[in-house]
A and B are shown apart, each in its own frame.
Chain A
Amino acid sequence: DAEITQSPRHKITETGRQVTLACHQTWNHNNMFWYRQDLGHGLRLIHYSYGVQDTNKGEVSDGYSVSRSNTEDLPLTLESAASSQTSVYFCASSIAGDGTDTQYFGPGTRLTVL
């Protein structure tokens, strides 16, 4: 079955370290998204991509970067982790332009920055 996976599921790191969270989908969706979820803020968009070599900044992109070298993967990199980036991170994907545009979410990665 097609799916969207995230790894690792849990990560503890130290302030200042570079961290990369992986997202992989097997639906061949063009659109991919990264969100963070925090108590009191709900889900907020970090970065998104509408296809290979396309990346765009979301509402809370400072301190994060993404790259899209193929359809299946959109890794999220924290260049220098900060305690404010402790959160649960969700990756999502959707079909481009099919009229429904339902987003399908991965299981999430819980990141703790000490």
Chain B
Amino acid sequence: KQEVTQIPAALSVPEGENLVLNCSFTDSAIYNLQWFRQDPGKGLTSLLLIQSSQREQTSGRLNASLDKSSGRSTLYIAASQPGDSATYLCAVANSGYSTLTFGKGTMLLVSP
């Protein structure tokens, strides 16, 4: 059974810092890995999706990397802003038609 762990559970940083969120998974036979953002009281918004054959994906100030062999992914946020404050969730799919297994998330607070 796939298990997804996210560290840290919470993170507080001042505006402008670069930061890294971590995600690890137990079964390396994945199809893809997704990073989501969730604002309080809202649904999830997909940020980045990395296919198993890819090593990284970038969107603006966000960069996600994937190391299947070690069962790890990182989400790098450059020059953090207060608007980045949210919970970030990592999720893994084990096949093309598979359901997602989610980590419990990292709650990020960026202070002005």
CA distance A99 to B54 in the complex (A): 13
Task: Determine if A70 is an interface residue (Cβ-Cβ < 8 Å).
Answer: no
Residues of chain B contacted by A108 (CB below 8 angstroms): 41-43
B31-A90 in contact (CB<8A): no
Chain B, Cβ-Cβ closest to A4: B43
Chain A residues positioned under 8 Å from B43 (CB to CB): 90, 105-108
Bin chain B's interface residue count: 20 to 34
B49 CB contact (under 8 Å) in A40, A41, A50, A102 = A102
Which B residues are in CB contact (< 8 Å) with A100? 32, 49, 51
Assuming the contacts A41-B104, A42-B103, A43-B102, asked whether A99 and B96 have C-beta atoms less than 8 A apart, the reply is yes
A82 interfacial contact with B, CB 8 Å: no
The answer to whether B44 touches A105, judged by C-beta atoms less than 8 angstroms apart, is yes
Q: Looking at the complex, which one of B41, B44, B51, B89 makes contact with A99 (CB distance below 8 Å)?
A: B51
Interface assignment of A16: CB less than 8 Å from any CB of chain B:
no
For the complex, give the distance between the alpha carbons of A90 and B43 in Å: 7
**Closest A residue by C-beta to B100:** A103
Chain A residues engaging chain B, CB cutoff 8 angstroms: 31, 33, 35, 40-45, 48, 50, 58, 90, 92, 96-97, 99-108
B residues bordering A, Cβ < 8 Å? 31-32, 34, 36, 41-46, 49, 51, 89, 91, 93, 96-97, 99-100, 102-105
